[in-house]
Amino acid sequence: MNTTAFPRTDPHTLSDDGDALHFCTTCAFSQACLSEGMDKRALGELHVLVEHVGPLHAGDILFREGDPFEAIAAVRAGTVKTFVVDRDGHEHVLGFHLPGELVGLNAIDDDHYPCNAVALDTVMLCRFSFPKIAVLAAKVPGLQRQLFRLLSRDIGRAALLAGDWSADQRMAAFLLGLSRRLAARGFSPNRFALTMARTDIANYLRLAPETVSRVLKRFQDAGLLRVDRRDLEILDREPLEALAAPILRD
């Protein structure tokens, strides 16, 4: 276990193209794939170059910092955490990737992954060879446009948590962010599992784990939510939205 399962072709790789069309309705490329304008032959080519990888299990590593960059991946199920470890051994979580989202876009720049990626629970992936998808993007304007969009979106997302927000604001923005992204893929916006440890949340929000505990308790005591271990239910969105508004900018 804990071996790099992603860059290599996994023994469990599926190539079941019938199912692919079903899975893809919630994938990051769906807008490109399912758009009216997309050439039928090109759509076929995209589905041919995808490799289905998984299932990976909690703790399985997709890729390590410094690994040569070969592919990006769309999460079909589960949660992927990306992070770096500084020389003091402190972990900095860069992001959590939910179903339908992409992993590896930040590796394009220097041909090596600039971070580690690990599965937090049972994860299914669609793996796209980047050189191949780049070639296809040149032939399919809708796909190139979608790639540009997704890259651009990540620039903005990375900048969100950079502000000097309070612990309450950060936590509210984090929870609502999860809620919205899950809702966009058809999951319940008010009741979901925190697939990551408190420590992971802390390292993502740049807080101490103790502060994460305290804020969650404070929110629960205020009746904003109910939290039991990894199980979370949002009871009163309004105050959370108010807290998160300056961060989420809406």
Q: Which residues bind DNA (CB under 7 A)?
A: 164, 166-168, 197-199, 206-214, 216-217, 227, 229-230
In the complex with DNA, the residue whose CB is nearer, 134 or 197, is 197
Q: Which two tokens stand for residue 122?
A: 């049972």
CB-wise, 152 or 166, nearer to DNA? 166
238 is a contact residue toward its own copies (CB under 8 A): no
Q: Say whether the peptide bond before residue 55 is cis (omega within 30 degrees of 0).
A: yes
Quick one: 69 or 83, whose CB is closer to DNA?
83
Q: Is 161 in the site for its own copies (CB under 8 A)?
A: yes
Tokens coding 45? 């080519």
Please report, as residue ranges, which positions from 169 to 198 form the binding site for its own copies (by CB under 8 A): none
What single string gives the DSSP state of each residue in 126-191? EEEEHHHHHHHHHH-HHHHHHHHHHHHHHHHHHHHTTS---HHHHHHHHHHHHHHHHHHTTS-SSE
Binding to its own copies, residues 60-89 (CB under 8 A): 84, 86-88
Instruction: For its own copies, give the closer residue by CB, 31 or 122.
Output: 31
Which phi and psi angles does 80 have, rounded to 5°? -115, 135
Query: Closest by alpha carbon to 128, among 38, 19, 52?
Result: 52
Instruction: Compare residues 147 and 216 and give the one whose CB is closer to its own copies.
Output: 147
| Pairing between β-strand 123-129 and β-strand 80-85 as defined by DSSP bridges | unpaired
Instruction: Pick one of 14, 58, 134, 197: the residue that binds its own copies (CB under 8 A).
Output: 134
Interaction site with its own copies (CB under 8 A):
84, 86-88, 92, 94, 105-109, 114, 134-135, 137-139, 141, 144-145, 147-156, 158-159, 161-164, 206-207, 245-246, 249
